[in-house]
Amino acid sequence: MSLIQALLLGLLQGATEFLPVSSSGHLVLIPWFLGWPAPGLAYDALVHWGTAVAVVGYFWREWAALLGAAWQAIRRRSLADPQARLFALLILGTVPGALVGWLLEDFFEGMFGRPAAASALLLVTAAVLALSERLSSRERGVEGLSWLDALAVGTAQAAAILPGLSRSGMTIAAGMGRGLRRESAARFSFLLSTPIIVGAGLLQVWDLAQAGELMAQVPVLAVGFLSALVSGLACIHYLLRYLQRHPLYPFAVYCVGLGVVGLVVALL
């Protein structure tokens, strides 16, 4: 992999991890379109750590408050503090994705070799985004979340392990479907993504250490990590501001366009 490829794929991973357009779908389709080689385990691990650092860095104050409230809740054996309750809901919402990823790991890995399937699932993402805008009430903030809301959003996150289903898109749409305002749904989505992204990064680094590939391509890995980190931070900030006033329809249109192009190329 060249430095230019490492830079572009890192920027792509960081941006599409948080924008509701499916990072996994892009990382399946774009190298396939361009005839680039598969990035490999080392690069994949480092760009995922770039996005992990981005989401933790952007929300570090909120996570510090959540962890402090959780510690006090354990000491007092009470979830009366709203921050402690939100932390518990985030843990609950993480469970479906962790279980599905663990039980069906081989199936999901096989899907990453099927560009036509990723293209078709981008059309599903587009439909979900459009329907969430059309049908949701969008009246509540994060403080009004229930246990059922957290499970619904967590189940959407589990489904989005499939390439082409956007993790942020599915979870934001699920939150909106449960009555959350767009910006509140996005904030909960990003907080909920933190354990999954960090956990996936740890597993990949473990696999990388087992394979002994860490020092093989240091410049390429550094470029991928930094570009994913910078674009991830920028896109988190952008999407939170965008959703305060604007709908998800443009992202749905984009997913339709990319999905249709992918299906046409696959057929030809």
Alpha-carbon span 251 to 242, nearest angstrom:
12
Between 199 and 164, whose confidence is greater? 164
Confidence of residue 40 (pLDDT cuts 50, 70, 90): low
- Cα 69 to chain centroid distance, Å, stands at 25
Q: Residue 95 above 90 pLDDT?
A: yes
pLDDT, residue 39, reads 72
- Average pLDDT of 244-253? 94
Half-sphere exposure in the Cβ direction for 26 (13 Å, CA):
20
Alpha-carbon span 18 to 21, nearest angstrom:
8
- Average pLDDT of 155-183? 93
pLDDT, residue 209, reads 65
Q: What share of the chain in percent tops pLDDT 70?
A: 94
Nearest to 12 by CA among 24, 109, 190: 24
Alpha-carbon span 20 to 129, nearest angstrom:
8
Q: Residue 216 above 60 pLDDT?
A: no
pLDDT, residue 208, reads 65
Q: Residue 213 above 60 pLDDT?
A: no
pLDDT, residue 211, reads 59
Q: pLDDT per residue over 98-153, tens digit each?
A: 888 788 777 777 777 789 999 999 999 999 999 999 988 888 888 888 999 999 99
Q: What is this structure's pTM?
A: 0.89
Which amino acid, residue 75? Answer: R
Dihedrals phi, psi of 172, to nearest 5 degrees: -65, -45
- Average pLDDT, rounded, for the chain: 88
Between 268 and 89, whose confidence is greater? 89
pLDDT, residue 66, reads 94
Q: Residue 189 above 90 pLDDT?
A: yes
Q: Residue 41 above 80 pLDDT?
A: no
Helix (H, G, I), strand (E, B) or coil at 180: strand
pLDDT, residue 210, reads 66
